[in-house]
Chain A
Amino acid sequence: MCLAVPGRIIEIDGQNAKVDFGGVTREANLMLMEDAAVGEYVLIHAGFAIQRLNAEEAEETLRLYGELARALEKDDERKK
């Protein structure tokens, strides 16, 4: 029930936004978002944008797991 889907705001008209979900566009309400801007990534739940997404944090998280994966691969090679 707490599913929320990431999308990108492509148009804002007052409280309403058009949000792009990888090619599919849907309307979302911005009442729960302070200062939303076109181009921002947001989480959409039940027709509302409920939080903005932070691209730097996402990249940092992925970089960390990537490092862990490479460390494991090296480890495996050493054991061979």
Chain B
Amino acid sequence: MSTPFDEEAFRTEPEARALVSRIHELLREELRGEPVSLMEVCGTHTVAISRAGIRSLMPDGLKLLSGPGCPVCVTPLSEIDRAIGASTLPDVILTTFGDMMRVPGSQSTLEKERAEGADVRILYSPLQAIEIAEESPESQIVFVGVGFETTSPTIAATVVEAARRGIGNLSVFPFFKTVPRALDMLARVPGRPLDGYICPGHVSAIIGSGAYEPIAREHNMPCVVTGFEPLDILAGIVMLLEQAASVRAGGNAKVETQYSRAVTREGNLAAQAVIADVFQECDAEWREIGTIPMSGHEFSERYRAFDARDRIDVDVPAPAGPSGCICGEIMLGQKLPTDCPLFATRCTPREAVGPCMVSTEGACAAFYKYDRETTEVP
């Protein structure tokens, strides 16, 4: 039975062709061929854009930049080192989503520690950590809490459930980040003209499109909440170009939602309530970018006992990051992966130098896998 949510429904060719042709027409006519830069801030968009080959279909003059949308890539080295350190403790079972396994810390990775005997388990859902805690009452179960607002409510709900069951041997590293503050900060970066944000679809399913209204207003920055299928992304670009043309003609930017089948202005209020109960906002460090005020989540007073930072005592080495990596500039929208001299030479997915190549959702990994033939490699 086919449904209106089938992936295939949003991949049809005549529609894609029509949208691409509209993009070319907008850039040529309404924008008079002047350069336009749009930025997505979601690793799932990064991969979807590259996989569908959308970059190669864009007219000259339209740049699609990848912002800091890969949660693994923006997790600071010191936090990765802390998770790796915790995994080596004898009474700890470290639990994580799979994306974290190969991310290099200063000296090791979770994958290496597991090969050397550490108990590191990859979870599909954070709820599995509760089962492990109940099965292994003698162990400390630690979950590496990495993610944006799509993921953080699932971990918050897990903590609520663990508290309800009176589980005392489960804790979480709160390395969470929030998207709108990062978009606000990026809009202030000097020397990088940006004409619009392709706003993340699933983060917005939780926080609602209304969360971007201050950004559109204060920076006169077009924002379009976009889905993940090829037609979604192409249509999102059309909407952004229409807005960019109107802004250049003196109009006001606004927030629009292309992904209306999943995103409302208010978002998911139940999920927001769980987040507000379990977490509170805090300053957060974004790897290679720096501290962004109030762009993170840590535990609220009520759930402070679940903070792994207070429970698990690890010595963290002085962070030693990769040299020559320009991930920071890429995530700020100042450069593309192909601008990095190490790209596809010393840095490849097999032998990754920086976080943007390790994570499958990093801009460098997506470029390496899908865009190499269509973009110039130095």
Contacts and interface: CB of A to CB of B under 8 A. Distances in A.
Interface stretch (B55-63, B106-114, B122-130, B365-373): B122-130
A71 B18 CA distance: 8
B160 A65 contact: no
Contacts of A69: 12, 14-15, 17-18
Interface residues of B, number: 57
B4 interface: yes
A39 B201 CA distance: 23
A53 B267 CA distance: 12
A29 B154 CA distance: 9
A19 B262 CA distance: 17
A2 interface: yes
Interface size bracket, A side: 35 or more
B92 interface: no
Nearest to A48: B154
Nearest to A68: B18
Nearest to B275: A32
Interface string A38-69: 00010101111011011101111110011011
A1 interface: yes
Interface in B171-213: 200-203, 205-206
Contacts of A59: 4
A1 B161 contact: no
Contacts of B354: none
Contacts of A11: none
A22 B3 CA distance: 9
Contacts, number: 141
A65 B70 contact: no
Contact of A45 (B150, B160, B200, B235): B150
A10 interface: no
Given A33-B270, A43-B205, A62-B9, A1 B261 contact: no
Given A47-B125, A54-B261, A58-B4, A1 B361 contact: yes
Nearest to A60: B260
B338 interface: no
B205 A54 contact: no
B347 interface: no
Q: In the complex, which of the residues A1, A57, A58, A60 has the most CB atoms of chain B within 10 Å of its own CB atom?
A: A1
Interface of A: 1-4, 6, 8, 22, 29, 31-34, 41, 43, 45-48, 50-51, 53-55, 57-62, 65-66, 68-69, 71-73
Interface of B: 3-6, 9-10, 12, 14-15, 17-19, 21-22, 42-44, 70-72, 97, 99, 124-128, 146-148, 150-151, 153-154, 157, 160-161, 200-203, 205-206, 231, 235, 258, 260-263, 267-271, 274, 361
Given A32-B157, A62-B10, A72-B21, 13 more contacts: A1-B99, A1-B148, A2-B147, A4-B205, A29-B125, A45-B150, A47-B126, A48-B157, A51-B205, A51-B268, A68-B22, A69-B18, A73-B14
